[in-house]
Chain A
Amino acid sequence: MRAIFTTTKQRTARLTALRALWRQFGCERSRLMAISGSAEIDAIGGVGISVLCANPHSAAVVESLLDTRYPSTEIVVAINGDSQASLLQQLRATYSLVEVNTPAQPSTAPIRGLYRSRRRPFRRLMVVDVATDDRPSALDAAEAVASYDALVAILAEVTLHPSAIGRIAAEIACTESVVRFPSFASCDDELLVIARHQIQSEGGFAKYGALANHPTLNRIAEILAVPMSENGGFMTDERPTYTFLNLLSLKIMKCKKKLLSLIKCKT
């Protein structure tokens, strides 16, 4: 074993892996939130969340976002009406969308149209027609029309569990201020939870850069410890149950990635 970790870099990598493992064992508090029922009844501490989704590949993604149980949620979907014209038409037909007035235009992505649903069950949905396929610019356009202070930007092709937004709201409600809370991201950089003022001060998602460049960003999976699905997304069909072995298996799954990277260091 000693022969593998000879250089300083490899020793540092091993220490980082051990520290990450220790953090995994330490951060079990969020398991308690898994049994909280308050997130499905009312807005926790008045926390409202705007879920921003850019260029979804199908209407099923939008449908899964609308399944969110947390009441104070808004779903803002940014679509390029040129390259995804069929998807836009499908959404307009399914959710009875009507065109409404657009607000001030963001600098990165002009908004061609804004749609809201006439039907009450889908009043949380907003669809933005943007003139870009670039995901960060589309997210900027979605942010310009969102109305809550907490933004959850979906950065990859994942679907959310119905309780995911409630869990995120509970995490935000544990901070000092619901307007100026510290941002955090999912372990695999699929989700970014950020306060609106922070993303505006950074210059938008286009200028925020890769999440890996923000080392102080907390990671959701370490905080929430939700079992990840096979595709690695923030998605699960199972209600988390507290068993020691379940936690241990989750930690070993996380540790596997670190071990594989250590093997690569050696070779």
Chain B
Amino acid sequence: MIALLAMLLMAGSGVLLLGRYLSRRGMRLTYRCIRSIAEYVVAPSAERLPHIRSGLSLVAFAEAVAFVAERLCDEADEQMREIVRYYALDSRLLLMAERANSTRRAYLLALLARMPLDASLLRRIEKMMDDTDEDVRLYALMCCFAIDERVAVRHLCRFGRRLSRFEACELLPKVCRYADAVAWTPLLRSEDYNLALLGICIVRRYSIIESEADLHNIIGGTHRSLQYDALCALAELQCDLSTTHIRHWIQQQETAVRHAVCRHLVRTGYSLRSAKRILGREERVLFEQMLNTYKRHIG
């Protein structure tokens, strides 16, 4: 029996070493592909592009393309589209995704969402919006955003569950196309939770001071879980928080949330005088103590 266990351990170690070798090989390939893609972006020439043979190489190359496309933020869109067209990367990856299981499918869709896609793939990607796996639906939605925003916003409204903050931040570059924020007002005023969360993320990312009134409305609105985010966004915009409904909202919260608001106000640079108009007595003491830790000790 011990011999059997020893054989299993040896076999496992062999697989471990092989796995590490293939992983490092895949990573080296990805880094080489990143270099080739960067050279192609600077001076487009078909000779600079590597030759892709196997499926493993294709995924490694797709990782490299996604890596470069995400960091370029749509700057070299034409060159990236040529690369994707040259290898038929989008259709090949989508075919692999359709044949894969849930997590692998989500991973391939995540890679697809980061590169420029052809509009002809929209129908096939929309079918994956009905997948049972949440991650597949999210990354299929990201792919839809990469192709057509109007279709994607419709899918977002029918997403079926609330987005988390992480997922909203993942969608943000696709919604904004790495450029200035667009159409944030309808998002903030929307009754839909996902659209409102996306709107708050846009406001925080781009520091949109004009959204102050809409954020105040969210604090007085129905989405309780968004009220804290809206208050934090107002604090980051250095808005006046000494309104009655904000004071009333803070006093209604539990201790952990009140203290979190207090710490947030210190970090965003509110003075003690402003904080006294916003916070209760207990939080004022905490605020003053925290504020003093930014001041040099004399004596």
Chain A residues near B (Cβ < 8 Å): 1, 3-4, 28-29, 31-33, 35-38, 42, 44-48, 98-104, 113-114, 116, 145, 147-149, 170, 173-180, 195-197, 227, 238-239, 241-243, 245-250, 252-253, 255-256, 259, 263, 266
Question: Using an 8 Å CB-CB cutoff, how does the interface string of B115-139 with A read, 1 for contact, 0 for none?
Answer: 0000000000000000000010001
Question: Using an 8 Å CB-CB cutoff, how does the interface string of B89-129 with A read, 1 for contact, 0 for none?
Answer: 00000000000000110110011001000000000000000
* Distance between B161 CB and nearest chain A CB, rounded to angstroms: 12
In the complex, 29 of the A-B residue pairs with CB atoms within 8 angstroms, ordered by the A residue number, are: A28-B103, A31-B107, A32-B103, A32-B139, A35-B114, A38-B169, A38-B173, A42-B169, A42-B205, A47-B165, A102-B293, A104-B289, A149-B256, A149-B260, A179-B260, A195-B256, A196-B256, A197-B255, A197-B256, A197-B259, A241-B27, A242-B59, A242-B107, A243-B26, A245-B19, A249-B19, A256-B12, A259-B8, A263-B5
Check B18–A241 contact: CB distance below 8 A: no
Q: Tell me the bound Cα distance from A241 to B164 in angstroms.
A: 25
Q: Residues of B contacting A249 with CB < 8 Å?
A: 15-20, 23
In the complex, B232 has a CB within 8 A of chain A = yes
Check A148–B70 contact: CB distance below 8 A: no
**Given A1-B4, A103-B289, CB of A45 within 8 Å of CB of B18:** no
| Contact among B19, B63, B167, B204 with A246 in the assembled complex (CB-CB below 8 Å) | B19
Q: A42-B169, A238-B23, A241-B23 are in contact. List 4 more A-B contacts (CB 8 A).
A: A35-B110, A103-B292, A103-B293, A174-B166
Check B12–A252 contact: CB distance below 8 A: yes
In the complex, B86 has a CB within 8 A of chain A = no
Q: Residues of A contacting B15 with CB < 8 Å?
A: 245, 248-249, 252
- For A253, give the chain B residue with the smallest CB separation: B16
**Given A4-B1, A37-B70, A179-B228, CB of A100 within 8 Å of CB of B23:** no
Q: Tell me the bound Cα distance from A5 to B13 in angstroms.
A: 24
Q: Residues of A contacting B294 with CB < 8 Å?
A: 100, 116
In the complex, B215 has a CB within 8 A of chain A = no
Q: Tell me the bound Cα distance from A33 to B232 in angstroms.
A: 25
| Contact among A46, A103, A145, A241 with B165 in the assembled complex (CB-CB below 8 Å) | A46
* Distance between B231 CB and nearest chain A CB, rounded to angstroms: 10
Check A145–B205 contact: CB distance below 8 A: no
- For B12, give the chain A residue with the smallest CB separation: A252
Check B255–A101 contact: CB distance below 8 A: no
Chain B residues 67-97 with CB under 8 Å of chain A are 70-71
Residue among B4, B24, B293 having the largest count of chain A Cβ atoms under 10 Å: B293
In the complex, B60 has a CB within 8 A of chain A = yes
* Distance between B294 CB and nearest chain A CB, rounded to angstroms: 7
Check A101–B259 contact: CB distance below 8 A: no
Q: Tell me the bound Cα distance from A1 to B17 in angstroms.
A: 27
**Given A35-B66, A147-B266, CB of A101 within 8 Å of CB of B292:** yes
Check B60–A241 contact: CB distance below 8 A: yes
Question: Using an 8 Å CB-CB cutoff, how does the interface string of B182-225 with A read, 1 for contact, 0 for none?
Answer: 00000000000000000001001100000000000000000001
Q: Residues of B contacting A255 with CB < 8 Å?
A: 12
Chain B residues near A (Cβ < 8 Å): 1-2, 4-5, 8-9, 12-13, 15-20, 22-24, 26-27, 30, 56, 59-60, 63, 66, 70-71, 103-104, 106-107, 110-111, 114, 135, 139, 164-170, 172-173, 201, 204-205, 225, 228-229, 232-233, 255-257, 259-260, 263, 266-267, 289-290, 292-297
- For A148, give the chain B residue with the smallest CB separation: B263
* Distance between A258 CB and nearest chain B CB, rounded to angstroms: 11
Q: Residues of A contacting B2 with CB < 8 Å?
A: 263
**Given A35-B66, A44-B165, A241-B60, CB of A100 within 8 Å of CB of B295:** yes
* Distance between B79 CB and nearest chain A CB, rounded to angstroms: 20
Q: Tell me the bound Cα distance from A35 to B67 in angstroms.
A: 8
Q: Residues of A contacting B70 with CB < 8 Å?
A: 37
- For A178, give the chain B residue with the smallest CB separation: B165
* Distance between B199 CB and nearest chain A CB, rounded to angstroms: 14
**Given A246-B20, A263-B5, CB of A38 within 8 Å of CB of B170:** yes
Check A246–B23 contact: CB distance below 8 A: yes
Q: Residues of B contacting A180 with CB < 8 Å?
A: 256
* Distance between B35 CB and nearest chain A CB, rounded to angstroms: 15
Check A243–B23 contact: CB distance below 8 A: yes
Task: State the 6 A-B residue pairs at the shortest beta-carbon distance, nearest first.
Answer: A45-B165, A249-B19, A197-B256, A245-B19, A173-B166, A252-B12
- For A197, give the chain B residue with the smallest CB separation: B256
Q: Tell me the bound Cα distance from A35 to B139 in angstroms.
A: 12
